[in-house]
Amino acid sequence: MAGGNRTIAVQPIGHVEGGRIVPEDDGWDASRAVIALDTERFTPASLRGLDEFSHVEVVFVFDQVAEAEVTTGARRPRGRTDWPEVGIFAQRGRNRPNRLGVSTCRLVSVRGLRLEVQGLDAVHGTPVLDVKPVMRGFLPRGALREPAWAAEIMARYWND
Amino acid sequence: MAGGNRTIAVQPIGHVEGGRIVPEDDGWDASRAVIALDTERFTPASLRGLDEFSHVEVVFVFDQVAEAEVTTGARRPRGRTDWPEVGIFAQRGRNRPNRLGVSTCRLVSVRGLRLEVQGLDAVHGTPVLDVKPVMRGFLPRGALREPAWAAEIMARYWND
C-alpha cells in the first residue's frame, strides 16, 4: 500500500481548559472553555488574524478512551437499540481508531495564546492537535444527505 | 499544563489512491480518488451504513511537507503579498504544526474497504487518519463571519 502504515507522531499544540470535566452526550453549546496553546512553541503571531473568523474547527484527541475501547467494526451509536448498527467510520463516536475528534465551535475571543470558545464538545484537559479557521468555502459542496438516526442523535446535542 | 505535551502516536487507517500526484492550489472538485482502508485491521463492517451519507470529512496528513517547512508563526497565505500576514492557525495551509488536513468531500461509492470520493484536496499516497460522516448537526451553528481574503483564496479552489 502506498506510503505504508507507519506510525506518525503528533504533538498537542495545546489543551482544553475549563468547560466540562466529564464527557456527556448532550447540551454542549452551553459549554465555554479555553484552548490554551503551548507557550514554549507558539507566540501570539501564531493566532494573528484568527479573530476575524466567527468559528474555528478544532482537531483533538479523545484521550480518555482506552485503547481497548476502540472499535474497528460496527456498533450502535450510544448503544441505542432503536438506531442501526453502523461502522465506526459511519458515525462520529469517540471509540474510533486514532481517537480523533473534529468539531466546529464559536470563537469568543483571542487573548495572547488563549482562545475562548463556546460549544466545544471536548472536556477539560483534552489535547488539541490543530485549530483551523472555518471558511465558507470549506463547507460541504452540494446537497447534504444523511440517515434519520443522524438527525435524531443531534437533536439535543448542542441545546439540551 | 493539563495533560502535558507528550507525543501521541497515530496510525493511518488507509491511504489516498489516485487523484492528483502533485499538490496544486486550485480546481480540486474535478479530482476523483479512492480512500483505501488498511485491509489488515478493517472489514466492510467498519464502513457499514456510510453510504447513507452524501459527504464525508477526511482527516489526513500532509506528509509531503518536511518538518523544516512547518510554520509556527505568521505568514501570508500562498505567499501572496495582497493578502495579510496571518497566523498559521488563522489559515488552512499545509505547513502547519502536526501537518493535519481536514476536508469535506462528496462520497461517490463504498465498495468493500474502498471509498470513492470526489473533490478531496489530498494527493495520491496521502495517509488518512480518520473518516467521519458529515452530519448537518455538526455544521457551524450561527452566522459565519470570515475576512475578505478567505473568500478570495477559495474562489477557484474547487472549480478552477
- State the DSSP string of B58-116: EEEE-TTS-GGG--SSEE-GGG-TTS--EEGGGS--SSSGGGEEEEEEEEEEEETTEEE
pLDDT of residue A27: 82
Residue B1 has pLDDT above 60, yes or no: no
Segment B36-65 shows an average pLDDT of: 97
User: What is d(CA A143, CA A148) in angstroms, rounded to the nearest whole number?
Assistant: 16
- Tracing cell 480540486 back to the chain, one arrives at B28
A24 to chain B, minimum CA–CA distance in Å? 16
**B30 SS3 class:** helix
Residues β-bridged to residue A36: A15, A114
Provide the CATH topology of domain B14-136+146-154. Answer: Elongation Factor Tu (Ef-tu); domain 3 (2.40.30)
User: Could you identify the residue written with the cell 469568543?
Assistant: A108
CA distances from A48 to A52, A110, A131, B76, B88 (A): 9, 9, 13, 11, 8
Please check whether residue A125 touches B, CB under 8 A.
Answer: yes
Q: In Å, how far are A123, B23, B69, B70, B99 from B65, measured between CA atoms?
A: 31, 11, 6, 7, 7
How close does chain A come to B81, measured CA to CA in Å? Answer: 16
Contact B31, B121 (CB under 8 A): yes
B61/A19: higher pLDDT:
B61
Interface test with B, best of A91, A135, A154 (most B CBs within 10 A): A135
Given an 8 Å threshold on Cβ–Cβ distance, is A144 in contact with B102? no
Q: Give pLDDT, residue A3.
A: 52
Identity of residue A53 = F
Q: Which residues contact A54 (CB under 8 A, 6 or more apart)?
A: A106, A107, A134, B140, B142, B143, B144, B145, B146
CB proximity B12 to A under 8 Å: yes
Q: Do B136 and A127 touch (CB under 8 A)?
A: no
For residue B146, the model assigns a pLDDT of: 97
Which parts of chain A sit beneath pLDDT 50? 1-2
Task: Specify the pLDDT at position A28.
Answer: 84
Please give the biggest Cα pair distance in chain A: 49
* Residue A22 confidence (pLDDT): 81
Residue from the list A15, A53, A135 with its beta carbon closest to the beta carbon of B1: A15
pTM: 0.95
Task: Give the per-residue pLDDT at B82.
Answer: 92
Q: Which of A98-107, A108-117, B27-36, B50-59 is the least confident region? A: B27-36
Three cell numbers written together for A26? 448532550
Please indicate whether, in this complex, the C-beta atoms of B54 and A9 are within 8 angstroms of each other.
no
Task: Return d(Cα B28, Cα B24) in angstroms, integer.
Answer: 8
Query: Given a cut of 90, is residue B87 above it in pLDDT?
Result: yes
Q: What is the mean pLDDT of residues B75-79?
A: 92
State chain B's mean pLDDT as an integer. 93
* Predicted confidence (pLDDT) at residue B83 exceeds the cutoff of 70: yes
For residue B150, name the pLDDT band (cuts at 50, 70, 90).
very high
Q: CATH assignment of A14-66+96-136, given 3.40.50.300, 2.40.30.70, 3.30.1130.10, 3.40.640.10?
A: 2.40.30.70
Domain spans in chain A, listed from the N-terminal domain onward: 14-66+96-136
Using pLDDT thresholds of 50, 70 and 90, give the confidence band for residue B2: very low
Mean of the pLDDT values across residues B31-50? 96
Instruction: Locate A79 and state its grid cell.
Output: 448503544
Report pLDDT for B4.
66
Mean pLDDT of B88-116: 97
